[in-house]
Structure 1
Amino acid sequence: MIHARIAAIGLLLAPAGCEPSRQQPADLVEAGASPNARILPAPLANEAPDLLDASTVEASAKLASDDYGRLIMSEASQQSPLPLAPATPLPDDALSARELSGVTLGAAFRWRDVPQPPKAPEVAAAGVHAAQRLTDLSWKVDLTETGRMRVQFTSRALPLPPGSELRARHDVYGEILLWPGSAQYRVVPPGALRTLLGERRVDVTPLSAGSARPVGEGKRLEVDVRKVEVHASLGALYLELGRMPEAGDGGPLLCRALLEILGVDPKSPECVAGEVPLYASYAWQSGGGVAFEVTSAVRRTDLLSTDLLMPPPSSAYTAAGLPSAQGGVFLTRDELAAIRTDPLPLPASVDPGAPGEGFVAVNQTDALYYLLVDGIPAVAVPPMSERYVAGPQRGRYVVQWRTFLGESIDPPQTVEMPARLVRSGADAGAAGGD
Structure 2
Amino acid sequence: MKTPLARLSLLALPALLVACNASGIGTASSSEGNPTDAGASPNASILPAPLASEAPEPPEAGLPADGGPLGLLADSSGRLIIPDASAPAPEVVRGDQPIPAEAATSKELSGLTLEAAFKLRNVPPPPKGTEVAHKGIEEAQRLTAPTWKIDVTDTGRMRIEFTSRAMPLPMRSELRARSDRYGHVVLWPNATDYRVVPPGALRTVMGERRVDVTPLSTGTVRAQGEGKKLGVATRKVELGSSLGTLKLELGKAPEAGEGGALLCRALVEIVGIDPRTPTCQAGEVPLSAAYSWQDGGGIDFEVTTLNKRTDLPSNEVLVPPPGASFQPSGLPNSPGGVFLTREEVASFRSAPLQLGPIEDPNAPGEGFIAVNATDTLAYVLLDGVPVLAVPPNDQRYVIGTTRGRYVIQWRTFLGDRIGPANTVELPARVTYGSVADAGAPDGGP
Report the TM-score range of the alignment, normalised by the length of the smaller protein.
Answer: 0.7 to 0.9
Matched, 1:167 2:176: yes
Question: Which residue of 2 is the match for residue 60 of structure 1?
Answer: none
Match of 2:106 among 97, 101, 112: 97
Distance in 1 between residues matched to 2:54 and 2:193, nearest whole Å: 42
**1:29–1:212 contact (8 Å) kept in structure 2:** no
Question: Which residue of 1 is the match for residue 385 of structure 2?
Answer: 376
Distance in 2 between residues matched to 1:288 and 1:87, nearest whole Å: 33
- Equivalent residue pairs, number: 375
**1:44–1:268 contact (8 Å) kept in structure 2:** no
SS in structure 1 at match of 2:249? strand
* C-alpha displacement of 1:325: 1.1
Matched, 1:214 2:223: yes
SS in structure 2 at match of 1:328? coil
Question: Which residue of 2 is the match for residue 228 of structure 1?
Answer: 237
Distance in 1 between residues matched to 2:293 and 2:249, nearest whole Å: 18
* C-alpha displacement of 1:227: 0.6
What TM-score comes out, normalization by structure 2 length?
0.80
Distance in 2 between residues matched to 1:169 and 1:46, nearest whole Å: 21
> Kindly tell me: are residues 345 and 232 of structure 1, through their superposed partners in 2, closer, same or farther at Cα, counting changes over 3 Å?
same
Q: Which runs of 5+ in 2 are unaligned?
A: 1-49, 69-83
Distance in 2 between residues matched to 1:378 and 1:404, nearest whole Å: 12
RMSD: 2.4
> Kindly tell me: are residues 88 and 359 of structure 1, through their superposed partners in 2, closer, same or farther at Cα, counting changes over 3 Å?
same
**Alignment deviations for residues 11-64 of structure 1 (CA, whole Å, 9 cap, x no partner):** xxxxxxxxxxxxx999x787xxxxxxxxxxxx99957468549xxxxxxxxxxx
Q: 1:43-192 counterparts in 2 under 5 A?
A: 48=63, 51-52=66-67, 78-94=87-103, 96-192=105-201
Distance in 2 between residues matched to 1:249 and 1:334, nearest whole Å: 45
Residue identity over aligned pairs, in percent, reads 57
**1:363–1:384 contact (8 Å) kept in structure 2:** yes
Corresponding letter in the other structure for 2:363: A
**2:65–2:199 contact (8 Å) kept in structure 1:** no
**2:256–2:282 contact (8 Å) kept in structure 1:** yes
* C-alpha displacement of 1:78: 3.9
Match of 2:418 among 387, 401, 409: 409
Corresponding letter in the other structure for 1:343: P
Distance in 2 between residues matched to 1:183 and 1:94, nearest whole Å: 16
Q: Which runs of 5+ in 1 are unaligned?
A: 1-23, 31-42, 54-74
**1:141–1:150 contact (8 Å) kept in structure 2:** yes
**Alignment deviations for residues 304-329 of structure 1 (CA, whole Å, 9 cap, x no partner):** 00001111112111101111211110
Q: Which runs of 4+ in 1 moved over 3 A?
A: 43-53, 75-79, 425-431
Matched, 1:297 2:306: yes
> Kindly tell me: are residues 45 and 414 of structure 1, through their superposed partners in 2, closer, same or farther at Cα, counting changes over 3 Å?
closer
Matched, 1:245 2:254: yes
Question: Which residue of 2 is the match for residue 279 of structure 1?
Answer: 288
**1:128–1:338 contact (8 Å) kept in structure 2:** yes
Distance in 1 between residues matched to 2:416 and 2:388, nearest whole Å: 18
Distance in 1 between residues matched to 2:141 and 2:398, nearest whole Å: 17
**2:251–2:284 contact (8 Å) kept in structure 1:** yes
**Alignment deviations for residues 140-188 of structure 1 (CA, whole Å, 9 cap, x no partner):** 0000011100000000000111010010001101110011111100101
> Kindly tell me: are residues 49 and 95 of structure 1, through their superposed partners in 2, closer, same or farther at Cα, counting changes over 3 Å?
farther
What TM-score comes out, normalization by structure 1 length?
0.82
Distance in 2 between residues matched to 1:352 and 1:297, nearest whole Å: 53
**2:61–2:217 contact (8 Å) kept in structure 1:** no
* C-alpha displacement of 1:335: 0.1
Question: Which residue of 2 is the match for residue 367 of structure 1?
Answer: 376
SS in structure 2 at match of 1:127? helix
Distance in 1 between residues matched to 2:292 and 2:361, nearest whole Å: 40
